[in-house]
DNA sequence: CCGGCCGCTTAACCTGTGTTGAAGCAGGGC
DNA sequence: GCCCTGCTTCAACACAGGTTAAGCGGCCGG
């Protein structure tokens, strides 16, 4: 994998804070907590397992920079990437009870990771007890929303894999990436960093590398996308939306007062 | 769809209670709450929408008898069933915040449904406030587990659709059904009621009806399954497990003291 | 500066699965 | 008892996508 300079975008507010505050308004102390959690990112090389298969209690972590994925391997080596994880995404904040046969989580590119154990309480639904009991805190609401987004990505993935052609799958996937990356401010004029190999893409979309390649080329020839180095531009979003029957994830990326 | 007599199994403890108490020990009052919720099931015919696409705040419901599914339709009519829902499964207990582009929930057979708004508080992580704050109640833990199971089913579905052949998919799916139905006491000697048409199966497994039919026949010819009327028997579970590379869902169905 | 590795691309060929269309078959309603 | 409807089954054909194998270019390490 080529260098991918981990562009610490100038304006890169911390992706986690950016994303969560887009889901629900955060109190000052909640924002401070997040900033504290993400203060000391640990660099991790590509192809590193962050959560091992069947691990008893995966440590909560946060992906600050770089791409990762949840994946599952079949006995004969076939790999399916279940979801791609992007900057600002959370890892292992749910399912902390039993060791679940969930597959593993691994980086796809060099990445910046933070331990996020401090978010566990909030993620557990932390609500104000006492007189205001029942009112969810902003952070808890945001984390809930983040969890729900991940379920939406899963559903999208199921529909892509189950009922769409290769061409449609790629279009749909690219639109989803664009929307998710926009929520953390990493899209400019439909152009965003695209640091994964076609092999990874193929494993995410249930295709062979060869066919993945054919399909990307077709999209380029049709003038729908343009790829240069490790960045991609969606040249005709409406066309892509129509091809992919894309309905969005409801994630506008617009912070709500 | 033929009659499917909705076999109110003699020993049929309420499926919901059966399932949830398998996930975590329930206090007496929690069990009572569940019994109360499921006291007056409402019969619903097959092919009824329980949650409409994009519905603002789906009412929490509980499936007592019959099969249902979460599904998504593409513009041109293609349908993908995202998860199949079985007796004891919960509907709409999460994602209550925003209208999410989630697809719809519909019955696949005649079914018995209960409103389950009463479970919302518990599902929200209801923990004992006051001195014992932080300790999750049994019911909350069970509901959390139920939510996590649904995510596992989704992951399984992704792997099936993305990386398995038709033959493997069906084997894997049948094993998952067996495990889930066993958790609500509806499996006897690897035999269980199987009230869905091949068309539904095809939409769940991302196949055409015709190929679904070919594949079922192959499984029968190979002596792996036996179908009679609306019931199916898995004749060689180890073989199926090996074919499907099935690792289980961690749902043992064994109530834990 | 060179060699090797990795990722991308191409080509030829093969096969699993989709499509179309039509024939059996069974149950339920009238 | 008979027809209608919905489900299964079958056959012929079409095609999307998988497989194998080989070449090419850039980057990195020596």
Q: What would the pLDDT profile of A212-234 be if each residue is shown by its tens digit? A: 999 999 999 999 999 998 999 99
pLDDT value at residue B102: 74
pLDDT value at residue A120: 83
Q: How far apart are CA A203 and CA B62, in angstroms?
A: 36
In which residue are the tokens 């041109």 written? B76
Task: Round and report the angstrom distance from CA (A210) to C1' (D19).
Answer: 9
Interchain contact B104–A (C-beta under 8 A)? no
Nearest by Cα to B50 from B89, B104, B93, B98? B104
Q: Please identify residues in chain A, positions 135-154, with a C-beta within 7 angstroms of any atom of strand C.
A: none
Interface touch B154/A159, C-beta < 8 Å: no
pLDDT value at residue B61: 94
Interface touch A101/B249, C-beta < 8 Å: yes
Task: Round and report the angstrom distance from CA (A46) to C1' (C4).
Answer: 21
Interchain contact B127–A (C-beta under 8 A)? yes
Tokens of B43: 């019969």
| pLDDT of A2 higher than 50 | no
pLDDT in tens, A131-165: 445 567 889 989 989 998 999 999 999 999 999 99
The answer to whether B206 CB is within 7 Å of strand C is: yes
Mean pLDDT of B39-53: 93
Tokens of B255: 């109530």
* Residue A53 CB neighbour total at 10 angstroms: 16
Mean pLDDT of A31-52: 94
| B196 closest-nt by C1' vs CA | D7
Which of these ranges, A195-199, B3-7, B24-28, B201-205, has the smallest mean pLDDT? B3-7
CA distance B57 to chain A (A): 14
Q: Please identify residues in chain B, positions 139-168, with a C-beta within 7 angstroms of any atom of strand D.
A: none
Please give the DSSP secondary-structure letter assigned to residue B76: T
Nearest by Cα to A123 from A84, A92, A86? A92
Q: Which helix (H) or strand (E) holds A225?
A: strand A225-228
A residues 2-41 lying closer than 8 A (beta carbon) to B = none
Q: How far apart are CA B132 and CA B113, in angstroms?
A: 34
pLDDT value at residue A190: 97
| B46 closest-nt by C1' vs CA | D6
Nucleotides of chain C within 7 Å of a protein C-beta? 6-12, 16-21, 27-28
CA distance A154 to chain B (A): 7
């Amino acid at each position: 994998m080529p260098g991918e300079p981990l562009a610490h975008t100038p304006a890169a507010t911390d992706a986690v804070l950016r994303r969560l505050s887009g889901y629900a308004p955060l109190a000052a102390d909640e924002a401070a907590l997040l900033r504290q959690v993400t203060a000391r990112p640990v660099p991790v090389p590509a192809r590193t397992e962050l959560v091992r298969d069947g691990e008893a209690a995966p440590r909560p972590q946060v992906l600050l920079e770089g791409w990762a994925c949840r994946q599952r391997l079949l006995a004969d080596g076939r790999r399916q990437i279940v979801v791609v994880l992007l900057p600002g995404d959370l890892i292992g904040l749910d399912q902390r009870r039993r060791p679940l046969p969930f597959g593993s989580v691994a980086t796809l590119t060099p990445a910046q990771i933070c331990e996020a154990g401090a978010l566990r309480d909030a993620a557990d639904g932390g609500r104000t007890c006492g007189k205001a009991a029942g009112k969810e805190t902003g952070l808890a609401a945001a984390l809930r929303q983040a969890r729900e987004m991940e379920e939406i990505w899963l559903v999208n993935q199921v529909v892509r894999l189950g009922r769409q052609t290769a061409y449609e799958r790629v279009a749909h996937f690219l639109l989803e990436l664009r929307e998710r990356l926009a929520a953390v401010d990493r899209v400019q004029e439909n152009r965003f960093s695209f640091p994964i190999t076609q092999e990874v893409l193929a494993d995410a979309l249930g295709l062979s590398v060869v066919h993945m390649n054919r399909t990307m080329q077709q999209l380029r020839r049709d003038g729908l996308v343009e790829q240069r180095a490790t960045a991609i531009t969606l040249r005709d979003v409406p066309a892509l939306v129509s091809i992919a029957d894309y309905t969005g994830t409801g994630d506008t990326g617009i912070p709500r007062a």
